[in-house]
Amino acid sequence: MDMMARIEQAARALSQLGQPRAAVVLGSGLSDVLPLEGVLALSFGDVPGFPVPTVAGHAGRVEVGKLADREVLVQRGRIHYYEGYDLAEVVIPIRAYALLGVKTLVITNASGGIAEGLHPGDLVLLSDHINMLGANPLRGPNLDRFGPRFPDMTSAYDPELRALTKEVAQGLGIELKEGVYVATMGPSYETPAEIRAFKTLGADLVGMSTVPEVIAARHAGLKVLGISCVTNYAAGLSGQPLSHEEVIETTRRKAAELSRLLTALLPKL
């Protein structure tokens, strides 16, 4: 089946869940935040056309439910490039949400902190990104139904959404920092030399997700907000080895705060 047919098939299955205008992707260790009311759900494996996640801690489930009377879609868990899928497959969910009528996408992730002043547990609004995957989900024939061959990425992370999010966070007494995210392929963590190089390039945070989804979302004309939870100091900055357990532990510690922020923000989108 060709890619467009696969995405349409997925969107048809998801349309049984509702007609949400906003979607949230919850990443590593964050997949339990943001409880919804009146949920209808499908696991990734039950959405025809969807790739199925393979990593522990990434549940892979799409829910549509209500948050303060607004219908929202919440994706719990995600697909990563390092699992072996093509980037075009990694972004099938995002493109299916676009066909479903989603206009705003909130993407969360866990990251290593590179910039001075970033510490484990910090919540950071993404202001921009650097794609170090060496690949792009839009490679290959352009799917004109979504957008143009050469989509603009100047304001990938919507400035107005960022301003609104800062305002909401301030009202809740939640501190939000801001930074540039660099995506690496993984699954190995970076070397200290790579982290020094990324710092020189202008990166504040490093992770293994988000960038493909943001590219596909912007191609399809969605507004994007990115929020990262810093789970560890990036390689070489603390003298400690990095571990997936530490990443999950830190996100769990910050889950309630992120949930409060998203609960207050989403009905305003």
**3-class SS string, 63-93:** EEEEECCEEEEEEECCCCHHHCCCHHHHCHH
119 assigned to active site: no
Q: How far is the CB of 234 from ligand HPA (least distance, A)?
A: 5
Q: How far is the CB of 57 from ligand HPA (least distance, A)?
A: 11
Q: How far is the CB of 35 from ligand HPA (least distance, A)?
A: 24
CA angle 169–174–177, rounded 5-degree value: 80
**Site for ligand HPA (CB under 6 A): which residue of 107, 161, 168, 234?**
234
Which listed residue (232, 233, 234, 257) is catalytic? 232
**Site for ligand HPA (CB under 6 A): which residue of 108, 111, 165, 210?**
111
How many amino acids of this chain bind ligand HPA (CB under 6 A)? 13
Which of 110, 78, 99, 79 lies closest to 20 in space, CA to CA? 99
Q: How far is the CB of 208 from ligand HPA (least distance, A)?
A: 5
Cα–Cα distance measured from residue 81 to residue 10, given in angstroms and rounded to the nearest whole number: 20
Q: In terms of CB distance, is 13 or 247 closer to ligand HPA?
A: 247
- Residue nearest to ligand HPA according to CB distances in the complex: 112
Angle between helices 3-14 and 92-100 (to 10 degrees): 60
Q: How far is the CB of 247 from ligand HPA (least distance, A)?
A: 5
Amino acid identity of residue 117, one-letter, is G
132 assigned to active site: no
Cα–Cα distance measured from residue 102 to residue 213, given in angstroms and rounded to the nearest whole number: 14
Which of 25, 83, 21, 9 lies closest to 214 in space, CA to CA? 25
Q: What would you report as the CA-atom Rg of the chain, rounded to the nearest whole angstrom?
A: 17
Which listed residue (22, 23, 28, 63) is catalytic? 28
**Site for ligand HPA (CB under 6 A): which residue of 247, 255, 265, 269?**
247
125 CB neighbour count, 10 Å cutoff: 19
Cα–Cα distance measured from residue 47 to residue 52, given in angstroms and rounded to the nearest whole number: 9
The span of 37-45, 51-59, 69-77, 108-116 binding ligand HPA (CB under 6 A) equals 108-116
Q: What positions carry a catalytic annotation?
A: 28, 58, 80, 82-83, 110, 208-209, 232, 244
Give contact residues for ligand HPA (rule: CB under 6 A).
Answer: 110-112, 189-190, 206-208, 231-232, 234, 242, 247
